Amino acid sequence: MNYWYRGRHRVYTILVGLLLLDAVVYVSWLRRAPLAPAVAAALQAQLERDVQAREAEVARLRRVREKLPEIRPALASFLSERFPPEQAGYSAVAVALNEAARAAGVRLENLSFKVQTRRGQAELVGVEVGAELEGGYATLLRCLESLEKAPGFYLIDELGVVSSQRGGLRLQLRLVTYFRRSS
């Protein structure tokens, strides 16, 4: 019995010691020193700069909103010129890529299309286009340059270059384009 009493007493003593240590840590955490004045001033200055930057951005966006009625016709014109309708868009991209490849003297292979789902774009359909181009370094650059000058809107998303079995380079191209949504 004496053995169990001493063991229990030791456990109680340890628990009381842990509770006291916990209370000391808690009180010291509550009473920790506030930020040094220099740090607080620097933090406040940074926050004020952030607020000013956000206010400037809000003012700029309000000016854009006010000019929106003036811009709408130009936006509609841009959409109709740069983004083909969804029904004809796939063939328009294929033709543009084939013309760019033919003009540069590059072989175009493995053309693929994948529709991207994006929220907030009611008027446009995003399409990921994959293709492999094969040729010399200079001809691949000419092909990319002519694609850049094409009337469509193409965003190059990924380029991968590997050596070709025919002695040139194989460019794995992934780009994103948009089509006007069908009504």
Nearest to 51 by CA among 16, 43, 180, 24: 43
Give me the pLDDT at residue 38, please. Answer: 72
- Quote the CA–CA distance of 149 and 163 in Å, as a whole number: 26
Q: 86-180: which CATH number, 3.30.70.60, 3.30.565.10, 2.130.10.10, 3.30.1280.10?
A: 3.30.70.60
- Quote the CA–CA distance of 136 and 147 in Å, as a whole number: 16
- Quote the CA–CA distance of 122 and 80 in Å, as a whole number: 15
Give me the pLDDT at residue 36, please. Answer: 67
Mean pLDDT calculated for residue range 84-109: 89
Tens digits of residue pLDDT in 121-137: 677 888 899 999 998 88
Give me the pLDDT at residue 56, please. Answer: 96
Higher-pLDDT residue of 4 and 166 is 166
Nearest to 133 by CA among 160, 93, 114, 152: 160
Token representation of residue 123: 């008027």
Q: Is the pLDDT of residue 1 over 60?
A: no
Give me the pLDDT at residue 33, please. Answer: 61
3-class DSSP state of 102: helix
